[in-house]
Structure 1
Amino acid sequence: MTEPRKADAAYLAIKHAVIEQALTPGTRLPEDVLGTHLNVSRTLIREALARLAAEGLVEAGRKRTATVAQPSRAEAQSVFEARACLEREVVRLVIKNWTPAMGAVLEGHVRSEEEAARDLPPTVCARLAGEFHIKLAQLSGNPVIERYLSELVSRCSLILAIYGNPHSSQCGIDEHRTLIESFRRGDEKTAVRLMVTHLNGVQERALMPEKKPVDEDLGSILGRYSAGTAAITPITTTRRRRKSA
């Protein structure tokens, strides 16, 4: 595996562990421990942590060990407000640019959500639900919106890890399918209404009383995420394509 590939794999392994709530807010992320368990150099780990810090998932400083970020309730409220604004514009752009191929992309992702709901933990289902919104942002054709919405979706997952109730897979899947139907009809008014209702539900679920952190060894957590990193393909920006959080 090339150095850039290793860096991407390390970044995605840590990111997925955070989004799936295996690495809980406040968890220390020592570079040497991460490098050992992910089998990459400290230089690449530092690069991965810098990317995650830029996305608001990690808090890092020159003189202290990085930790998983712990957004406050005020920050969480701001994140959801910004996300709602971007998602409404994504809906408009997706309908404007709609093609049958876009419907196939979204339907394929929803099928992945359904398979995960049958076989995988709710935290994995929640990550896939968020990725549906990232796919929508990709399909909007606006790479700037895609970038910022991707970061906001990830931060919402982190907020859910602190304050939220468990993800309801079937509700999210049903709502995603209903959104796709409104896109196919070109019904912008209904699609926006469905998206706002959907996001309000996510926000309501997210801002619950703070959870207690899970006491689990960092090495055992990373072991679960390092095994498949060679096969992980980063989500890339396209000019044409793509998520319930």
Structure 2
Amino acid sequence: MSDKTTLTDAVHQLLRRAIIEQALKPGMRLPEDTVGEQFGVSRTIVRHALVRLENEGLVVTRRNRGAFVAEPSLEEAKHVFEVRRALEAEVIRLLVERMPRSGYDQLEAHVRSEESVKGKDGPVSIRLAGEFHILLAELTGNHVLARYVSEIVLRCSLIMAMYAKSHSSDCAVDEHSQIIAAIRDGDTRRATSLMDHHLGAVAGRAELEPKQDSVSSILSRYGKELAS
């Protein structure tokens, strides 16, 4: 592996983490020279890293304006969650059939990491929650499935940064433990149901359905003028 490839990998990983941990917000511009200066690398390295992030759906390039952190629309966000639920149901089915010997140890170690940041660091807990699902997919041994799940989980993290009103790491960790237990029991139906409920709760926190203000709530704002 060349030094250039290694540097590109490192910049790609750091930028991705900054996006997932919500340090870099949706819509924020990513100038190549600024990124290069901060990481001590060339603009060419930065450009390669940004192309990877664009392929993952985390960055968009606008003509004559450069790269920006992506801002998924509500419609795109709903489509992403629909695909995620289908992919992760297949992950569950495969793991019940062929969980590797060390799989449960890896999953339980990850849950302990999640428990260590409960109530302490929202952005890190969001990243760890996503990495739990990526680990599940990797344990299937199906590298194609793992790649798609990784991409979709990352995009969901970006969607949560845009639309989520809250993040309950306590609920996420408890539900992850329940999913592990159901897979260990070989109960595909229960594990799939738990996963679907879990992902539904995540999507619910993202508030993907636009809420229309009621007439009373709209007029109450105007009514305050009469009272003043």
The interval holding the TM-score normalised by the smaller chain is: 0.7 to 0.9
Does 2:78 correspond to 1:77?
Answer: yes
- Output the CA distance in 2 between the equivalents of 1:144 and 1:157: 20
Partner of 1:133: 133
Equivalent pairs counted in the alignment come to: 209
Task: Answer yes or no: is 1:21 the counterpart of 2:34.
Answer: no
Structure 1 gap ranges (5+)? 211-245
SS at match of 2:60: strand
* Aligned equivalent of 1:107: 108
Q: CA deviation at 1:207?
A: 2.4
Q: Which residue of 2 aligns with 1:240?
A: none
Contact 2:59 2:70 in 1 (8 A): yes
* One-letter identity of the residue aligned with 1:27: M
Question: TM-score under structure 2 normalisation?
Answer: 0.88
Alpha-carbon deviation of 1:64?
2.3
CA distance change for structure 1 residues 16 and 209 in 2, over 3 Å: closer, same or farther? farther
Q: CA deviation at 1:116?
A: 2.3
TM-score of the pair, normalised by structure 1: 0.82
Aligned match of 1:146: 146
The RMSD of aligned alpha carbons is 1.6
SS at match of 2:166: coil
Higher CA-based Rg: 2
SS at match of 2:118: helix
> Are 2:115 and 2:173, in contact at CA under 8 Å, matched by a contact in 1?
yes
- Equivalent pair of 1:122/1:166 in contact (CA under 8 Å): no
CA contact under 8 A between 1:93 and 1:141: conserved in structure 2?
no
Identity %: 49
Contact 2:92 2:192 in 1 (8 A): yes
CA–CA distance in structure 1, aligned partners of residues 139 and 170 of structure 2: 23
User: Deviation of residue 39 (structure 1)?
Assistant: 1.3
Which has the higher relative contact order, 1 or 2, with Cα contacts under 8 A spaced 6 or more apart?
A: 1
Q: Is residue 74–residue 208 contact of structure 2 (8 Å, CA) maintained in 1?
A: no
Shift of 1:101: 1.2
AA aligned to 1:153 is V
Q: Tell me if the contact between 1:165 and 1:208 (Cα under 8 Å) persists in the aligned partners.
A: no
